Structure formats: C-alpha cells, structure tokens
Amino acid sequence: MADVYGSSVTPRRVTNDFVDSRAFELLSRAGFVARGVVYAIIGVLALRLAVGDGGRLVNQQGAFHTVARQPLGTALLVALAVGLGGYALWRFVRAGLGRGPEGRDSSFERVAALASGLVYAALCVLAIEVLAGTSRSTSPDKATAHVLGWPAGVWLVGAVGAVFIGIAAYQAYRGLTKDFLEDAKTQEMGALTRRWIGWIGLVGHLARAVVFGLVGIFLAKAALAYEPKDAVGLNGALGKLLDRSYGPVLLGVVAAGLIAFAVYSWSDARFRKI
C-alpha cells in the first residue's frame, strides 16, 4: 500500500506515527494524573484514619467507589478509566517498541513496563466495572486460598510474594538514589522545582516500598505456612501498620508518603519523558 506521495504505508509506520503524535502524549500524561488520583484517595483516607478523623483503609477498588460517590462521580470515574487506560497503553508501547517519543528503554525496563501495563490495564477494567455496577470484591485471602489449591500453588504464591518484595526493593532503590529523576525532563525544571520533585519522589517511592514489601512478606508467609488468611492486599498492608506499636504514627507516615507519591505522579504528568 502507498499513500498519495507514493511512500509505503506499513503497520510499523502507522504505529510509529501514532507513538510520535500529540494525542499519544496527552493520553499518556493523563495516565499520570489518574495514577496520582488513585494514590491520593488511598493516602488521604488512610491519613484521616491515622489522625482519628473518620477515614478508612481502601484499596484501588475502594478508591474507585469513593470517586463514584462524589458529585459528578460518573464523569470523574470515566475520566479516571480513560487515564488509566492511557497509562497502560503507554507502558505497553514502551514494552513493545522499547521507546516512546522522548526516551528509550533497556531490556529490564521493557519487562517492567509490560508488568506495569498489565497492572494498570486491570485497574482500568476495574474502574469500568465499578462504572457498570458489575465489580465484585475478591479478598486476597480467598484468592490465595484458591491458588494454594492448584498444583504447585504454594510455589506460585511464594513466587508472587517474592516478586512484590523485589518490587519493593526496586522502589526503595529508586527513591534513595533519586533514580526516577533520570526519567524526567530535568532541563525544563528550575532548581527549586527539581529539588522539590526529588524530595516528594523520594518519600513517595519509599512509601510504596513499604506497602509492596508488606504485601510480599505476607504472601510469602501465607505460602510457607499454607495459611491463606495471612495474605493481604494494599489496604491490608496499611492495616498491618495500624496494628503495630505506634500504629497511628506509622500509618500516618506511610499515608503521607502515598500522598507525596500522588503529587509526584502529577509532576510526572508535566515532566516525565514519554
């Protein structure tokens, strides 16, 4: 096939044209806004609980239900689903092509992008299910009990736990080294903005490391003890903090960190290399 100028029109060219388009960039950046909204809701509700202001612990599904109950909740949830879908698309493109309009990826980064894309595609679907009123809550312990009944289920649950622990370690590394700044257009930042984003990114990544680490540890514990009730999700991990000595303080610190990650995500909407 050839266009009016006689040049060949191929799927690769169409894909590259789309990836380099303004529409793709805007859709991708909308994904960072949506990611920030989800973390902000989870963090704010957890922080309110920590300070005794009537908050509660929610996971991503709970965050979507919270949005749906707000004025104009349906429109907000539609926008959130579109943003999460855009983020997933961006991650899939980076995994498949190894590049975007503004950056290239190593093999490790492409694998990470694929995993991230799958997670956010699932969140997009979950938001759509909440919109449609068809979402059903499946607790981590029930899901773990189901998997433990599979052949090699113990190994599978343990492996998933190890993956979460690995993600936690990577998040901690990204935060402590401020490696995330390499993905940003720092040349477009002023000195104060760069320093500010560096600090909120550090705090936000460490908070995510704590949450992912707890999820991984308790999944591994569930596998080792063959005890599904030990498995926890995001809200369960926050609940484990609350159950400890100085629990409200610990929960408050991590909740504030999740809010910091939300703000960092919104800064990514402006400065991230797409």
* pLDDT tens sequence across 82-98: 999 999 999 999 999 88
Q: Of 31-35, 135-139, 247-251, which range is least confident?
A: 135-139
Banded model confidence at residue 104, pLDDT cuts 50, 70, 90: confident
Given the structure tokens 């949005």, which residue do they identify?
A: 67
Mean pLDDT across 159-176? 96
CA distances from 7 to 4, 14, 15 (A): 8, 12, 16
What integer pLDDT is reported at residue 271 of this predicted model? 96
User: What is the structure's pLDDT at 244?
Assistant: 87
Q: How confident is the model at residue 3 (pLDDT cuts 50, 70, 90)?
A: low
pLDDT at 252 over 60: yes
Q: 79: which 2 tokens?
A: 């926008």
Instruction: Give the other-Cβ count within 10 Å of 73's Cβ.
Output: 16
Show Cβ contacts of residue 154 under 8 Å, excluding neighbours closer than 6 positions: 148, 223, 226
Residues of the chain with pLDDT > 90, as a percent, come to 76
Say what angle helices 11-19 and 73-97 make with each other, to 10 degrees. 130
Find all residues with CB under 8 Å of 17, minimum gap 6, and list them: none
* Mean pLDDT rounded to a whole number for the chain: 92
Is the pLDDT score of 6 beyond 60?
no
Residue 246 has pLDDT above 50, yes or no: yes
* pLDDT bracket for residue 5 (50, 70, 90): very low
